[in-house]
Amino acid sequence: MPTDLWRFAEALYQDPEVEQACLQLQTQGADVCLLLCAAWLETRQVACNDDRITALRDVTQSWRQQVVVPLRQLRQSWRNSAQSDQALAALREQVKKLELEAEREQLQRLARCTQSWPDGAANAALNWLERLAPEPGCRDALHRLRIAATTP
């Protein structure tokens, strides 16, 4: 897997099971960029602790709420109308590209936040996915994400 968070996320999302798991997690209120970062941190064996969890949430929360979510909501609200309106369909595609760029920026912010965190922590807690998931009911999706991230 790539060591750069954006490339890691892109490579992981190519797996149809990961895409499905991410969509399921997103529906349950998860911040998928945050969970992709969590999977990346687990593969790098970066120790998980409360301060780091807080730092990741702090770095991503306002960007996600002010930029990513409104773009996603706009794109999704146009889904049905865009099927019969080509001009709207074209605008929807532009919004989709903006949403992807906003997610890329979010991942870059997360990566910058973790730059000083050392890899390869022996015997350290690596439960990033569970700690950053919105609720315990998404175990299957988290498991699929973890398996895909750790499979060469």
Q: Distance between CA atoms of 78 and 69, rounded to whole angstroms?
A: 14
> What is the rounded distance in angstroms from the CA atom of residue 143 to the CA atom of residue 129?
9
- Rounded CA-CA distance 138/24 in Å is 8
Domain of residue 12 covers: 5-150
Q: Where are the beta strands (DSSP E) in 62-121?
A: none
Q: How many whole angstroms separate alpha carbon 31 and alpha carbon 65?
A: 10
Q: Report how many domains make up the chain.
A: 1
pTM for the model: 0.90
pLDDT in tens, 53-104: 999 999 999 999 999 999 999 999 999 999 999 999 999 999 999 999 999 9
